[in-house]
Copies of this chain bind each other. A is one copy, B any other.
Amino acid sequence: MVAVTGTRPGRRPTIVDVAAAAGVSKSLVSLALRGDPGVSEETGARILAAADRLGYRSNRLARGLVQGRTMILGVLLTDLANPYHTEVVAGVEEAAEARGFTVLLAHGRRDRERLEHQLDSLLQLNVDGVVVVSSWLGAAALADAARRVPVVMVGRPREFAPGVDTVANDDEAGARAAVRHLLELGHTRIGHLAGSGSPSSRSREAGYRETMREAGLAEEVLVRPVGDDRDRAAAELLAQGPGAVFAVNDLAALAVLDHAPPEVSVVGYDNTSLAEVTRPRLTSVDQPRAIMGRLATELLWERMGGRTGDRHEVLAPALVVRDSTAPPGERRECGAP
């Protein structure tokens, strides 16, 4: 399996090698490999056979260079370990694949500078579009990228970048649904373990406050930002004696569950895979992540088709009720069923 006849030694075979082996011009090889109808059946078969024999693989760099597009979509992630992100990616991949694109992921590893660097790498590769699954990237960097290639951001940006479409869920509505669920169970003393000032977390907090006010419970509003130390924040919030807690995300909710007596109901946000796995299983607000990913890809597609105006899509989340919520005074279950 070492030296295959017809190939220059030590080099990967090119279209020219295949052409020589099949006794035709390189142009015809190119046509044949792409299945062009203007190639006679017999010659086509011979070319394919030769390519196969030589172990030829097309060189995407060269193709991309001459065509000016690569049929590659780049996905930029802050944090691979975040299950929220990965489900969005699955949606992107599905839609991209259907349109013949290859998806490559670049990873920022929770570091803003690295994130910008990775975005740059993708641009240098001439990807045909970028989906950014991160709120960490600044509007300037995003807008700059959008000047060269379609860019969609999944999530809620601090600031809208011109030329960049966005896909987000309606955080305020999700928060409302969570709080309403607790109200309907009969809770009144509902606290909120809040986020750290990101646009999403602010909307969630606003939804919480609003719903409490509408229920005539403005005095019961109890908010504690989660800060750096989730456990401390959870403990301090619980020290105020709420009957239920709406947490800004699942991890925060877990911290609450950990410190709360079993009568306290807890709702999370994001419906990550954690929610299924913990005991009690966590009631949580689900973002339609796969759909968001698909939609992001469609927005890219539209941009490639020439759309110029910016679009900002907001999707409705849905509450998923599990075992961590119960009427006041009832114990959540714990451990084996």
Does A57 lie within 8 Å of B123, measured CB to CB? yes
Given contacts A104-B104, A278-B279, 17 further A-B contacts (CB under 8 A): A1-B147, A12-B148, A55-B144, A58-B124, A61-B62, A61-B65, A61-B70, A80-B89, A80-B105, A81-B87, A81-B273, A93-B107, A102-B106, A105-B106, A259-B337, A262-B336, A334-B334
Find the B residue at minimum CB distance from A105.
B105
> Which residues between 59 and 98 of chain A lie within 8 Å of chain B, taking CB atoms?
59-62, 64-65, 70, 80-81, 83, 86-87, 89-90, 93
Does A124 lie within 8 Å of B57, measured CB to CB? yes
Copies of this protein chain in the complex: 2
Find the B residue at minimum CB distance from A254.
B277
A261 at the interface (CB under 8 A from B): yes
Does B148 lie within 8 Å of A57, measured CB to CB? yes
- Tell me the A residues contacting B by CB distance below 8 Å: 1, 12, 55, 57-62, 64-65, 70, 80-81, 83, 86-87, 89-90, 93, 102-107, 109, 118, 120-121, 123-126, 144, 147-148, 254, 258-262, 273-274, 277-279, 334-337
Q: Which residues on B sit within 8 Å (CB–CB) of A55?
A: 144, 147
- Distance of A331 from chain B, by nearest CB (Å): 10
Bound CA span A334–B332, Å: 13
Find the B residue at minimum CB distance from A114.
B97
Bound CA span A65–B64, Å: 10
Q: Which residues on B sit within 8 Å (CB–CB) of A279?
A: 258, 278-279, 334
- Distance of A264 from chain B, by nearest CB (Å): 10
Q: Which residues on B sit within 8 Å (CB–CB) of A109?
A: 90, 93
Does B126 lie within 8 Å of A60, measured CB to CB? yes
Bound CA span A86–B336, Å: 30
Does B59 lie within 8 Å of A126, measured CB to CB? yes
- Distance of A93 from chain B, by nearest CB (Å): 6
Contact of A102 among B12, B81, B121 (CB under 8 A): B121
Q: Which residues on B sit within 8 Å (CB–CB) of A70?
A: 61
- Distance of A122 from chain B, by nearest CB (Å): 8
Q: List 22 A-B contacts (CB under 8 A).
A: A57-B148, A58-B124, A59-B65, A60-B121, A61-B61, A61-B62, A61-B64, A65-B65, A80-B80, A80-B86, A81-B87, A89-B107, A102-B118, A103-B106, A104-B105, A258-B279, A258-B336, A258-B337, A259-B336, A274-B277, A277-B277, A277-B278
Bound CA span A191–B65, Å: 59
Given known A-B contacts A105-B107, A107-B103, A334-B335, A124 and B278 have beta carbons under 8 A apart: no
